[in-house]
Structure 1
């Protein structure tokens, strides 16, 4: 049985809209509308147990998942929501041991989620140009326990003269102008490697896809993930009036080889042969 210890993280769960993520410290107390939750009362208990507050309300002691960390982290920028995170992993086939490059660290939520998938043999290399946001992301990544599997870099890959990686499995882009790093992403990816970009608007999506085609990407797919919560109660189940609406559009593509170079070479050879025939015919 996993027992809660000092410095462990615990999700104090009351209901779906009232839950608190905390690092256990025996001298700390959490003051809420349902009463005072003493950290010391959680120490030694098994995850899944429950505590009773001084207002006779109870909370469950859950072991936080990466989903909990993503939803409870400090937001310096807009986060990528779990409904989108799940689809990214499913569509790309991301798995343990793979190498990922992320362009645009943001708050570190996507970074942490990706690291949680590729660990313990894989690694995520993330790049950003905003020191302020990177400090927030570093704190969030550490909180999620993913520091070991993530390398953070302050570098603008748009301007990089030499790209730091090659033969990576996946490049994920979370920028306002993702099309500007498509050529760089292509150079870093292995053949058939995956590319994913998070786009807030359809205009961005349209421009991005055009550039992806120009840079010889195929299997291009653009999606929006819609998630509806259901309030399941005996005799009166219905969809929830509370929910998350539009968050982002996702663009997925794979590095391909269109054969443009070989086609050009073939045309040149054919033209040269025709030219010789014409000259020969002229002399004859």
Structure 2
């Protein structure tokens, strides 16, 4: 009898050990996971039960849910940083049901046109040339499923991509199109890391976008830095009856006040920020709605919207921060006259930070090159590229001295030891001036001209021009 109980005891112990090991292995998928390696306490089992007892790989881009399971879990991921994420709201690639307030794209089943963006409200309808579609018929369905109009026409439901959203939303100004925005973000070479739980003394990544416009580039920039910020804290949900006050009260405070205070406290701990500025209040307000409208505003909290002049904003920021140290990691200018702001940007741009100037004309980029050279600003031109619907091509934009000026200079100066190869190289370079725009420097005997021509070997359709300068010491 004793041997039988001993055998049963060993079997129970082995099964319990295997179960705890499985729980431990599943929970250590991420350093922020709910139970750390070696945590074999009963809390691991309770954690698994609270997670629906399902051993499935977690979403790669999602944070852990807000379940404090053990002291080790609280050390790895403090309660203030762990908030339960609504995966439907984040619109991951996993299947989800459409809910009221979602933005969906409706496209005819056998048509390849862009389709129509629709914000779902249970009591509303959307009219098409092939009948009326009830929003209530869409709510509860999943993307890629079919919904029919009252005339029997079949429409497929899609989650709009960022590119589709930018192209199909109402606009007040011409946006920077998705292909150009993606390239601009890539050239800025933005890298962010997950927020650490310890004390971080490094300054946050701050990017200034001057010329908000439609908000298209704002969305792309915010998506690029999104992983650098902690999850936004959740606030208590409240659903009262029809006789309840409009502003609900939770523990003595209105829910709207709680939401605002939580968001403001969260903003103080951001590690990546987009400052976007526009001279027009109307355009800025419209762009804010565009940013907040994409997937329930998942990227909106990374962005601070401002209205005014770029140089004035920089001056106010330096006064409010009470420091003369630079605070901007990158600056993007989409302005008619960017040359007026170049001197004011240099002191607030970190060394090795990028200054990007986007203009529809190559001559505007050439003006920036000339002004930076004349005033000896601490910028080093890295490249000038033409953006368009096809490929990109690089442009050669620089100030050189024409052949006549060089001959006069050589006649007056003593002879040098330059080799014939170097002289031939200089002569070949001067030959480019036949296609250049000539400019004379006032108050100076030297004459300079701007070389502005595409580098050979590429073709492109339309687009603007992007100049990239690196901040020097």
TM-score per shorter chain, which class? Answer: 0.7 to 0.9
What's the secondary structure of 2:341's corresponding residue?
helix
1:4 to 98, 101, 107: 98
CA distance in 2, matches of 1:34, 1:5: 24
- Residue matched to 2:469: 253
1:135 lines up with 2:282 in the alignment: no
Aligned length: 243
Say whether the 8 Å CA contact 1:199–1:250 is kept in structure 2.
Answer: yes
Say whether the 8 Å CA contact 1:75–1:107 is kept in structure 2.
Answer: yes
Deviation at 1:226, TM superposition (A): 3.1
Say whether the 8 Å CA contact 1:157–1:181 is kept in structure 2.
Answer: yes
CA distance in 1, matches of 2:188, 2:314: 28
2:141 to 45, 50, 73: 45
Q: 1:34 to 1:223 in 2, by over 3 A?
A: farther
Deviation at 1:58, TM superposition (A): 2.6
1:194 lines up with 2:290 in the alignment: no
Say whether the 8 Å CA contact 2:384–2:468 is kept in structure 1.
Answer: yes
Q: How does 1:183-222 map to 2 (within 5 A)?
A: 183-213=343-373, 214-222=376-384
Deviation at 1:54, TM superposition (A): 3.3
CA distance in 1, matches of 2:279, 2:102: 32
Higher mean displacement: 159-168 or 169-178: 159-168
CA distance in 1, matches of 2:461, 2:314: 40
Greater than 6 Å deviation, 4+ residue runs: none
CA distance in 1, matches of 2:346, 2:216: 24
- Residue matched to 1:108: 215
- Residue matched to 2:185: 89
Say whether the 8 Å CA contact 1:157–1:163 is kept in structure 2.
Answer: no
Using the size of structure 1 for normalisation, the TM-score is: 0.77
Higher mean displacement: 116-125 or 207-216: 207-216
CA distance in 1, matches of 2:310, 2:226: 24
Deviation at 1:183, TM superposition (A): 2.0
What's the secondary structure of 2:291's corresponding residue?
helix
- Residue matched to 2:341: 181
CA distance in 1, matches of 2:303, 2:185: 17
Using the size of structure 2 for normalisation, the TM-score is: 0.48
- Residue matched to 1:238: none
Q: Deviations over 1:241-274 (max 9, x none)?
A: xxx95232111221123xxxxxxxxxxxxxxxxx
Deviation at 1:16, TM superposition (A): 4.2
CA distance in 1, matches of 2:338, 2:113: 34
1:162 to 305, 315, 318: 315
Say whether the 8 Å CA contact 1:74–1:136 is kept in structure 2.
Answer: no
Deviation at 1:228, TM superposition (A): 4.5
What are structure 1's unaligned runs of at least 5 residues? Answer: 230-243, 258-284
1:125 to 271, 275, 278: 275
1:223 lines up with 2:439 in the alignment: no
Deviation at 1:219, TM superposition (A): 4.2
CA distance in 2, matches of 1:48, 1:77: 32
Deviation at 1:160, TM superposition (A): 4.9
Deviation at 1:192, TM superposition (A): 0.8
Q: 1:188 to 1:58 in 2, by over 3 A?
A: farther
Q: Deviations over 1:120-159 (max 9, x none)?
A: 4222111122112122112212212132111111231234
Deviation at 1:190, TM superposition (A): 1.1
What's the secondary structure of 1:162's corresponding residue?
helix
What are structure 2's unaligned runs of at least 5 residues? Answer: 1-94, 194-204, 230-271, 319-325, 392-459
Higher mean displacement: 140-149 or 158-167: 158-167
Q: Deviations over 1:73-123 (max 9, x none)?
A: 332222101111011111111244642111111122221221121114222
Higher mean displacement: 117-126 or 220-229: 220-229
Q: 1:109 to 1:226 in 2, by over 3 A?
A: closer
Say whether the 8 Å CA contact 1:47–1:61 is kept in structure 2.
Answer: yes
CA distance in 2, matches of 1:245, 1:55: 41
CA distance in 1, matches of 2:133, 2:343: 52
Q: Comparing both structures, which one devotes a greater share of its residues to strand?
A: 1
* Two-structure CA RMSD over aligned residues (Å): 2.3
